[in-house]
Amino acid sequence: MILIISWNINSIRKRITHLERMMDAYAPDVVCLQETKTHDATFPFDDVKRMGFEHIATYGYGGYNGVAILSRYPLSDIQCHERRKKNDGRHISAVMTPENGAPVSVHSIYVPAGGEAPDPRINDKFADKLAFIDCCADYFAGHHGFRDAVVLTGDLNIAPLPSDVWDHHKMQKRIGHTDHDIAALDRLRRSLNWTDAVREIISPDDPVFTWWSYRQSEFKVDSKGWRLDHIWVSPGLKDNIESAEVLVDVRHWTPASDHAPVLVKLKT
């Protein structure tokens, strides 16, 4: 069994005690982080290793962005990927080799949010977001085959299904749930015929959220959330999906990230 967690931690140094608490509570084998918000030189390597994660891949970017992969098992072929010819700490990958298991290519991705205006013709940030996703789709289609064991994790900043937002009709004109977003994410999904592990376990009709605005002090009561965080698996791993859940309670821990972690268990 491999237990994978993906979490937009919103500053690893600010929430290092939360990370340790999560490690103790759920005992993951691999943790993929987004928005680490630190250069590699100031990444808390010693703290993470004390948690039992000797194998660490980081792609830092100062006070914002930044992605990482933390693993109990050896990591090889670590790659920090440029997307749209930008070196901005948004996509890292590594090959993780579990004990007595076959290697798995693991990706941690942080898709740009896209700004405010839901029209890429007038909003350069939104156009950049869509270009980033297109670059990722081209990469996966060109570098992996359907039989490869690949896991894509991250804050993709898109909630594709009506049940992935608290009000589908109100959110259709909000970046993250527009037709442009959904079409771009679908192209990424088709790049390797990915399976959305959470929706493989939880019905697409059931509301599932991973992000709540900091403006919501009682976020579980208001429940005005979005499912922006995802774990996908390639066709070769689809039958290995054992379980999936959103660790909503972590969103309560103070000081909170505005994202809750996503957990998936894969059979080996």
Domain edges within the chain: 2-266
Q: Which of 93, 91, 86 is nearest to 124 (CA)?
A: 86
Judge contact between 147 and 164, C-beta under 8 A: no
**What is the C-alpha to C-alpha distance for residues 155 and 151, in angstroms, rounded to an integer?**
14
- What are the pLDDT tens digits along the chain (268 aa)? 999 999 999 999 999 999 999 999 999 999 999 999 999 999 999 999 999 999 999 999 888 899 999 999 999 999 999 999 999 999 999 999 998 889 999 999 999 999 999 999 999 999 999 999 999 999 999 999 989 999 999 999 999 999 999 999 999 999 999 999 999 999 999 999 999 999 999 999 999 999 998 876 656 666 789 999 999 999 999 999 999 999 999 999 999 999 999 999 999 8
Q: Which pTM was predicted?
A: 0.96
What CATH code would you report for 2-266? 3.60.10.10
Q: What is the dihedral of CA 137, 142, 147, 151, to 10 degrees?
A: -40
Q: Is 223 left (phi over 0), alpha (psi -120 to 50) or beta?
A: left
Nearest one of 267, 266, 268, 264 to 31, comparing CA atoms: 264
- Token code pair at residue 56: 């660490």
